[in-house]
């Protein structure tokens, strides 16, 4: 979904140097991709919100995702912080752009919280910023959304994921075996 939308998500998701497709183009790409899927095989979808940047998922698709079986993927806070810094390196390398993105969160978070994040940018404290965003923004947002929307979350298969390890494909295979 993120590849089709050319966007990773609401906060820091814009892909550098790449515009998002129009809603109509996204819908066309999504329909084509859905036709390619094998209905007999499971499809794994990250817990996306309805909006991925400027485009929105069709309500019927989002409802189907919310009704589907769940896998509760967890990773250590430190692994997640390292992954966040690497995956969003272009933002961490652009302090002014990162500040601009974080300022959009005033209202969702207090001015003091956002000011603390901005200070971390000014002080070059990337590790602390990544951990703070996980603790103060991402985890609470995902928890609220997941509890509100995923009806089968209480029955989710728990999976510990190590996103920075070389064996991510082996980890995915182990998940498929566990689901079989």
125 vs 23: CA distance, rounded Å: 37
Does residue 100 contact residue 114 with C-beta atoms inside 8 Å? no
Q: What percent of the chain has pLDDT over 70?
A: 98
pLDDT digits (tens, 9 = 90+) for 11-51: 667 777 789 999 999 999 999 999 999 988 888 888 878 88
| Matching residue, tokens 């947002």 | 141
When the pLDDT of each residue in the chain is averaged and rounded to a whole number, the result is: 90
**Res. 69 pLDDT band, cuts 50 70 90:** very high
Euclidean distance between the first and the last CA atom of the chain, given in angstroms as a whole number: 25
**Res. 57 pLDDT band, cuts 50 70 90:** very high
Q: How far is the CA of 110 from the CAs of 6, 30, 88, 129, in angstroms?
A: 29, 36, 23, 16
pLDDT digits (tens, 9 = 90+) for 132-177: 999 999 899 889 989 999 999 999 999 999 888 888 889 888 888 8
Q: How confident is the model at residue 164, as a pLDDT?
A: 83
Global pTM value: 0.81
**Res. 10 pLDDT band, cuts 50 70 90:** low
Q: How far is the CA of 31 from the CAs of 50, 111, 123, in angstroms?
A: 16, 41, 45
């Amino acid at each position: 979904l993120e590849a089709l939308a050319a966007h990773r998500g609401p906060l820091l998701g814009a892909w550098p140097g790449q515009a998002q497709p129009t809603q109509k183009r996204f819908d066309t790409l999504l329909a084509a991709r859905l036709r390619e899927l094998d209905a007999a095989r499971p499809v794994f979808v990250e817990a996306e919100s309805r909006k991925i940047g400027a485009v929105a998922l069709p309500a019927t698709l989002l409802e189907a995702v919310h009704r589907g079986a769940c896998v509760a993927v967890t990773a250590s806070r430190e692994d997640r912080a390292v992954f966040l810094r690497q995956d969003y390196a272009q933002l961490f390398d652009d302090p002014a752009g990162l500040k601009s993105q974080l300022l959009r969160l005033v209202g969702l978070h207090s001015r003091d919280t956002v000011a603390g994040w901005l200070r971390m940018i000014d002080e070059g404290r990337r590790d602390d910023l990544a951990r703070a965003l996980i603790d103060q923004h991402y985890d609470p947002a995902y928890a609220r959304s997941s509890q509100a929307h995923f009806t089968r979350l209480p029955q989710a298969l728990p999976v510990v994921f190590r996103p920075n390890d070389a064996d991510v494909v082996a980890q995915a295979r182990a998940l498929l075996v566990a689901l079989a």
